[in-house]
Amino acid sequence: MEKGYETAVGGDNSSPFSHMGSTDGGQQPCVWSSPQGGCKIDIRKQIFCNRSLNMKNILAVGFDMDYTLAQYKPETFESLAYDGTIRKLVYDLGYPRELLDWSFDWTYMVRGLVLDKKRGNILKMDRHKYVKVAYHGFKELSKEDKVGTYGNTLIRDSFDEPDYALIDTLFSLAEAYLFAQLVDFKDKNLEKIPKGADYSVMYKDVRAAVDLCHRDGTLKQMVAKDPKRYINEDTTIVPMLKMLRDSGRATFLVTNSLWDYTNIVMNFLCGSRALDGSRKCNFDWLQYFDVVITGSAKPSFFHEGNRANLFEVEHESGMLLNTDNGSPMAQVGSSSPRLSLKGDKACRVFQGGSVGHLHKLLSIESSSQVLYVGDHIYGDILRSKKVLGWRTMLVVPELEREVELLWELRDTRKQLRKLRNERDLIEDKIHHLKWSLKFEDTSADEKQKLSSEYNALESERDGVRITHQDAQRECHKMFHKIWGQLMKTGYQNSRFAHQVERFACLYTSQVSNLSLYSQTNTTDPVKITCPMNSILFPCETF
C-alpha cells in the first residue's frame, strides 16, 4: 500500500499536490487498495491523509449519522430548514410577513465562512486569519473597507464566539444565507425590523428559530414522512459496514439524533426492502453495528469528565431503561436484571452517556484503537482527536467536485504559476534597479538609462499582474462564483483547510469510500499514508 500510494502521491515529487496527478497531462493517479495488488480509484473517491493510519491498530470504527452516513440533499433539506426558520421568525419573533416571500439559494454559501455578528459581514479568511473575501450582506466590501475593518489592529481578532459565528457544518448554510438577507433588508428597511434588533440580535433570532425547528420536530417529521426526498440513497454503505465487521472490527454509531428519528434514517439507508421495492421499517440495520448511542449530546459526549447517565433504549417502544454504566439493571419490583430478548451478541441501543461508557461497551483499552468518522470539525473531530486521541476521518462532500475541477484545471493552474513566476522575476529586477539608482555611484547618463529601464519594467509588471489577476479570478469562479475554492484562500490554506489539517487524520468526500480500501487482510493491513501537506491544493484563487 505504501509503495502503491507513494506512486499515487508522487514519492520523490516535491509538489504537495502530486497525489492529484501530474500537471503536465500525465495519467490520473492510481491508489492501491491492498498490498497484493492495486485498483484504480476515482480521484473523487480517494481518501486523503494528514497523518498515516495503519488499520492493523484499529479495533473499532464509529460513525456519526447526519451528514456522514446520511447525506442530505441541500436543494430539499436545506430549503426545508430555511422555510421553517422563516416561519418561526415571522410568527414567533415578530418579523415582517414579507419575509415569507423570500427564496433560498442553496448554492450561495459554503462551509468555512465566518459571520461577523456585530457588523453584519460574512468573511472568508486564510489559515493566518487574514480576511481575503468579505461581504456585508450580499454587497462585497472594497479592499480599503476590508483592510480598515480587519487588517489594522495590533492584536488580531480570534474570530470566535461570541462576536463571530463559524459556518463549519452543512447544517449552517441556510442560516448563513438568511442572515445575509436580513442584513440587506435591515439596511434598506430599518423601520420594518423589530425595535432594538441590530445585526447581532438578528443572528440570535435566526439561531433561536433554527433551534426551535429542530426541537419541535418541524424538520424531522417531514424527513420521516419521505426520506427519499431529503436523503441521498447510498447502496455502498451496507457493503462497507459488512466489510469492516468481517475484518474483525467492531462498528458503532454515535449520533445526537434520538432513537425514533435514527431508526427511520438508518432503515432508509441500510434497511431491507419488501417485494414491491418499498422499505420495511424494522430493526434489521442494527445487525451492522455492535453499539448504537443516540441523543449523545456531542461534543460534551467526548469529555472524559462527563457524568451523563446512560440509558438503554427498548427498540419497539423507544422507552428508556436504567443501566449500571451499560450493564442491565434490575427494574423496580424485579429481583433480576432485565435480559435482552435478542441475546448478548445483538446490537444494544443506548441514549446519553459518555465516551467512558462507549469504551467499556466496546472493550477498548486505548483511544488510538478507535477510528471515528464524522462531518463536523467541532462536534465530531476536534474533541474526539484532541481530548481522546481517537483517529479521525472527516467527511467533506464538497471535495468530490473540488478535486475533479482541480484535475480539469491543471493546465490553467500551471499557467497561473508561470504568470506569477514571471511577475516575481520582473519585481526582483525592479528592486535591483531601485537599489542601484538609490545607492550606487553612477554617472548621469547611466542613471538616465537605468531610470528608463526601471519605468519599462514597471509597465511590464503591471501588464503581467493584470493578466495574472484576471486569469486568477476566472479560475476562482470555476470553484464558486463568490467564495472560490474550499481549501484555499489566495495562496494560503483557507481557515477550513487549516482546521481539517490540524484535527482530521483522514478526509474524504463520502463515508463509503472506506469500502474501496481493503480492510480484510489483518496480517498485512492497509496503511493510508501520504505527505503531510497533501491538503495544500496549489490553485491560485482569491
* Active site positions, annotated: 64, 66
Q: In Å, what is the CA distance from 16 to each residue of 7, 20, 45, 532, 537?
A: 13, 9, 19, 8, 7
Using only the alpha carbons of the chain, give its radius of gyration. Answer: 27
Rounded CA gap, 539 and 542, in Å?
A: 9
- 59-87 burial by CB neighbour count: b if 16+ within 10 A, else e? bbbbbbbbbbbbbbebebbbbbbbbbbbb
Residues facing 322 on adjacent strands: 311
Lateral strand order in the sheet of 291-294: 48-49, 506-508, 391-395, 370-374, 60-63, 250-254, 291-294, 348-352, 310-313, 320-324, 327-328
| 352 contacts 308 by C-beta, under 8 angstroms | yes
- 292-327 burial by CB neighbour count: b if 16+ within 10 A, else e? bbbbbebbebbeeebebebbbbebeeeebeebeebe
Residues facing 104 on adjacent strands: none
Rounded CA gap, 170 and 379, in Å?
A: 12
Read off the amino acid at residue 517: Y
Asked whether residue 380 is marked as a ligand-binding residue, the answer is no
Instruction: Give the pairing of strands 391-395 and 370-374.
Output: parallel
- Between the two ends of the chain, the Cα-to-Cα distance in Å is 36
Q: Which helix (H) or strand (E) holds 469?
A: helix 444-479
| 134 contacts 140 by C-beta, under 8 angstroms | yes
- What SS3 state is found at 436? helix
**Maximum distance among all Cα pairs of the chain, rounded to whole angstroms:** 108
Read off the amino acid at residue 251: T
Residue 330: all three cell numbers together: 434490575
Locate the DSSP E strands across 407-541. 488-489, 492-493, 506-508, 527-528
In sequence order, which ranges of 157-277 are alpha helices (DSSP H)?
Answer: 173-188, 199-215, 218-225, 227-230, 237-246, 259-270
Q: In Å, what is the CA distance from 440 to each residue of 433, 437, 445, 453?
A: 10, 6, 13, 16
Scan for cell 488580531, then name that residue.
Answer: 156
Asked whether residue 116 is marked as a ligand-binding residue, the answer is no
Asked whether residue 66 is marked as a ligand-binding residue, the answer is yes
Rounded CA gap, 127 and 461, in Å?
A: 28
DSSP assignments along 10-46, one per residue: TTT---TTGGG--SSS-PPP---SBTTB-----GGGP
Instruction: Give the pairing of strands 250-254 and 60-63.
Output: parallel
Which residues are documented as binding site for GMP? 66
Which residues are documented as binding site? 64, 66, 375
Which residues are documented as binding site for Mg(2+)? 64, 375
